[in-house]
Protein backbone atom coordinates (compact mmCIF):
# COMPACT_ATOMS: atom_id res chain seq x y z
CA UNK A 1 0.00 0.00 0.00
CA UNK A 2 1.46 3.35 -0.99
CA UNK A 3 1.61 6.25 1.37
CA UNK A 4 -0.51 9.23 0.51
CA UNK A 5 0.85 12.71 1.14
CA UNK A 6 -0.44 14.41 4.26
CA UNK A 7 -2.91 17.22 3.86
CA UNK A 8 -1.44 20.58 4.82
CA UNK A 9 -2.89 22.28 7.86
CA UNK A 10 -5.28 25.17 7.45
CA UNK A 11 -6.29 27.86 9.88
CA UNK A 12 -9.87 28.84 10.53
CA UNK A 13 -10.87 32.10 8.83
CA UNK A 14 -10.40 34.90 8.20
CA UNK A 15 -14.14 35.31 7.97
CA UNK A 16 -15.10 37.63 10.80
CA UNK A 17 -15.43 40.73 8.67
CA UNK A 18 -17.92 38.96 6.41
CA UNK A 19 -20.24 37.43 8.99
CA UNK A 20 -19.81 39.31 12.23
CA UNK A 21 -18.76 42.82 11.30
CA UNK A 22 -21.65 44.05 9.25
CA UNK A 23 -22.16 47.79 9.61
CA UNK A 24 -25.09 47.27 11.99
CA UNK A 25 -23.06 44.84 14.13
CA UNK A 26 -20.04 47.08 14.80
CA UNK A 27 -20.46 48.66 18.19
CA UNK A 28 -17.36 50.65 19.06
CA UNK A 29 -19.32 53.25 21.02
CA UNK A 30 -21.35 51.83 23.91
CA UNK A 31 -22.51 55.10 25.45
CA UNK A 32 -25.23 57.59 24.71
CA UNK A 33 -25.33 61.21 25.95
CA UNK A 34 -27.57 60.26 28.89
CA UNK A 35 -25.43 57.29 30.01
CA UNK A 36 -23.98 57.99 33.47
CA UNK A 37 -20.42 57.25 34.50
CA UNK A 38 -16.85 58.18 33.67
CA UNK A 39 -16.25 58.08 29.93
CA UNK A 40 -13.28 55.93 28.91
CA UNK A 41 -11.72 54.90 25.64
CA UNK A 42 -10.11 51.47 25.47
CA UNK A 43 -7.56 51.06 22.70
CA UNK A 44 -4.92 48.52 21.92
CA UNK A 45 -3.68 45.95 19.47
CA UNK A 46 -4.07 42.21 19.02
CA UNK A 47 -0.65 40.61 18.45
CA UNK A 48 0.47 37.08 17.65
CA UNK A 49 3.34 35.15 19.26
CA UNK A 50 5.92 36.92 17.08
CA UNK A 51 4.60 40.35 18.00
CA UNK A 52 3.03 40.79 14.56
CA UNK A 53 -0.42 42.41 14.32
CA UNK A 54 -3.49 40.24 13.81
CA UNK A 55 -5.44 42.26 11.22
CA UNK A 56 -8.63 40.22 11.11
CA UNK A 57 -9.50 39.44 14.72
CA UNK A 58 -12.80 40.27 16.37
CA UNK A 59 -13.00 41.67 19.90
CA UNK A 60 -16.19 41.61 21.96
CA UNK A 61 -16.60 43.25 25.34
CA UNK A 62 -19.27 42.78 27.99
CA UNK A 63 -19.42 44.89 31.13
CA UNK A 64 -21.50 46.22 33.98
CA UNK A 65 -22.71 49.81 33.99
CA UNK A 66 -21.25 52.54 36.21
CA UNK A 67 -23.43 51.35 39.10
CA UNK A 68 -22.09 47.78 38.89
CA UNK A 69 -25.04 46.08 37.20
CA UNK A 70 -25.16 44.08 33.98
CA UNK A 71 -27.98 44.69 31.51
CA UNK A 72 -29.02 41.04 31.65
CA UNK A 73 -32.01 39.27 33.21
CA UNK A 74 -29.70 37.12 35.37
CA UNK A 75 -28.43 40.23 37.19
CA UNK A 76 -31.18 40.95 39.71
CA UNK A 77 -28.95 43.00 42.03
CA UNK A 78 -30.07 46.22 43.70
CA UNK A 79 -27.82 48.49 41.60
CA UNK A 80 -29.55 50.81 39.13
CA UNK A 81 -30.15 49.54 35.61
CA UNK A 82 -29.64 51.96 32.74
CA UNK A 83 -31.74 51.33 29.64
CA UNK A 84 -29.36 53.49 27.56
CA UNK A 85 -26.39 51.22 28.27
CA UNK A 86 -26.32 47.61 27.08
CA UNK A 87 -22.71 46.92 28.11
CA UNK A 88 -21.94 45.01 24.90
CA UNK A 89 -19.50 46.04 22.18
CA UNK A 90 -17.95 44.44 19.10
CA UNK A 91 -14.99 45.59 17.03
CA UNK A 92 -12.81 44.14 14.29
CA UNK A 93 -9.08 44.84 14.23
CA UNK A 94 -7.44 47.02 11.59
CA UNK A 95 -4.43 46.08 9.43
CA UNK A 96 -2.10 47.08 12.28
CA UNK A 97 -4.06 44.90 14.75
CA UNK A 98 -5.62 47.92 16.45
CA UNK A 99 -9.07 48.12 17.99
CA UNK A 100 -10.94 50.64 20.15
CA UNK A 101 -14.09 51.11 22.22
CA UNK A 102 -15.68 54.15 23.81
CA UNK A 103 -17.55 53.17 26.95
CA UNK A 104 -17.77 53.99 30.65
CA UNK A 105 -15.69 52.70 33.51
CA UNK A 106 -17.83 49.96 35.08
CA UNK A 107 -18.68 49.86 38.74
CA UNK A 108 -17.60 47.02 40.98
CA UNK A 109 -19.85 43.98 40.90
CA UNK A 110 -20.66 41.56 43.73
CA UNK A 111 -18.93 38.22 44.06
CA UNK A 112 -19.78 35.47 46.53
CA UNK A 113 -19.70 35.83 50.33
CA UNK A 114 -20.10 39.61 50.16
CA UNK A 115 -16.85 40.17 48.27
CA UNK A 116 -16.72 42.78 45.53
CA UNK A 117 -14.95 42.48 42.20
CA UNK A 118 -12.87 45.41 41.02
CA UNK A 119 -14.20 47.30 38.00
CA UNK A 120 -13.40 45.20 34.95
CA UNK A 121 -14.46 44.48 31.39
CA UNK A 122 -14.91 40.94 30.06
CA UNK A 123 -13.10 40.50 26.74
CA UNK A 124 -13.60 37.78 24.13
CA UNK A 125 -11.17 37.33 21.23
CA UNK A 126 -12.00 35.55 17.98
CA UNK A 127 -9.12 35.09 15.52
CA UNK A 128 -8.00 32.79 12.75
CA UNK A 129 -6.26 29.75 14.07
CA UNK A 130 -8.35 29.77 17.25
CA UNK A 131 -10.83 26.93 17.10
CA UNK A 132 -12.34 28.27 20.32
CA UNK A 133 -12.54 31.91 21.25
CA UNK A 134 -10.28 33.20 24.02
CA UNK A 135 -11.69 34.94 27.08
CA UNK A 136 -9.94 37.35 29.38
CA UNK A 137 -10.57 40.41 31.52
CA UNK A 138 -9.42 44.00 31.42
CA UNK A 139 -8.77 45.72 34.75
CA UNK A 140 -7.92 49.42 35.18
CA UNK A 141 -4.45 50.25 36.53
CA UNK A 142 -5.73 53.10 38.72
CA UNK A 143 -8.28 51.01 40.66
CA UNK A 144 -7.41 50.30 44.30
CA UNK A 145 -9.81 47.32 44.31
CA UNK A 146 -7.51 45.33 42.01
CA UNK A 147 -5.45 44.19 45.00
CA UNK A 148 -8.49 42.39 46.48
CA UNK A 149 -10.28 41.23 43.34
CA UNK A 150 -11.07 37.51 43.85
CA UNK A 151 -10.63 36.63 40.16
CA UNK A 152 -7.43 38.62 39.63
CA UNK A 153 -5.94 36.99 42.73
CA UNK A 154 -6.44 33.57 41.05
CA UNK A 155 -4.04 34.60 38.28
CA UNK A 156 -0.35 33.92 39.02
CA UNK A 157 1.25 37.15 40.22
CA UNK A 158 3.75 37.27 37.35
CA UNK A 159 0.86 37.16 34.81
CA UNK A 160 -1.49 39.73 36.39
CA UNK A 161 0.05 42.67 34.55
CA UNK A 162 -1.24 41.19 31.27
CA UNK A 163 -4.79 41.96 32.47
CA UNK A 164 -4.16 45.59 33.46
CA UNK A 165 -5.02 48.46 31.11
CA UNK A 166 -2.73 51.45 31.63
CA UNK A 167 -4.05 54.99 31.60
CA UNK A 168 -2.57 57.32 29.01
CA UNK A 169 -1.48 60.33 31.05
CA UNK A 170 -0.85 62.45 27.96
CA UNK A 171 -4.40 62.13 26.59
CA UNK A 172 -6.44 65.30 26.94
CA UNK A 173 -10.19 65.86 26.99
CA UNK A 174 -13.08 64.54 29.02
CA UNK A 175 -12.52 60.89 28.09
CA UNK A 176 -9.79 58.91 29.86
CA UNK A 177 -7.79 56.69 27.50
CA UNK A 178 -6.63 53.22 28.58
CA UNK A 179 -4.24 51.05 26.58
CA UNK A 180 -4.73 47.26 26.53
CA UNK A 181 -2.80 45.03 24.11
CA UNK A 182 -3.91 41.42 23.70
CA UNK A 183 -1.03 39.02 23.02
CA UNK A 184 -2.30 35.66 21.83
CA UNK A 185 0.76 33.57 22.70
CA UNK A 186 4.44 33.65 23.53
CA UNK A 187 6.32 36.21 25.59
CA UNK A 188 3.92 38.44 27.51
CA UNK A 189 0.90 36.33 26.52
CA UNK A 190 -2.33 37.69 27.93
CA UNK A 191 -3.76 35.52 30.69
CA UNK A 192 -6.85 33.78 29.29
CA UNK A 193 -9.54 32.02 31.29
CA UNK A 194 -10.75 28.48 30.66
CA UNK A 195 -14.52 28.96 30.93
pLDDT digits (tens, 9 = 90+) for 26-56: 589 999 999 999 999 999 999 999 999 999 8
Q: Which class would CATH give 16-183?
A: mainly beta
Nearest to 192 by CA among 99, 108, 107, 130: 130
Q: How confident is the model over 6-22, as a mean pLDDT?
A: 50
Contact 168, 141 (CB under 8 A): no
**What's the chain's Rg over C-alpha atoms?**
18
Q: Which residues pair with 142 in a beta bridge?
A: none
Q: How confident is the model over 74-100, as a mean pLDDT?
A: 94
CA dist 100 and 149 (Å) reads 25
How do residues 99-136 score in pLDDT, each as one tens digit? 999 999 999 999 998 899 999 999 999 998 777 899 99
Domain boundaries, the chain: 16-183
Q: Is the dihedral of CA 186, 43, 77, 146 positive or negative?
A: positive
Per DSSP, the three-state class of 139 is strand
Per DSSP, the three-state class of 135 is strand
Amino acid sequence: MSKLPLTGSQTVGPFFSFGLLRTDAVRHVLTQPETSGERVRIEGRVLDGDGAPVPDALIEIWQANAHGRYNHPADQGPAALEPTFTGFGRCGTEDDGSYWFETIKPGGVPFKDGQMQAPHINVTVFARGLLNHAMTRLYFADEAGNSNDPILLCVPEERRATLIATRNASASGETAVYHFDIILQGKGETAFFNL
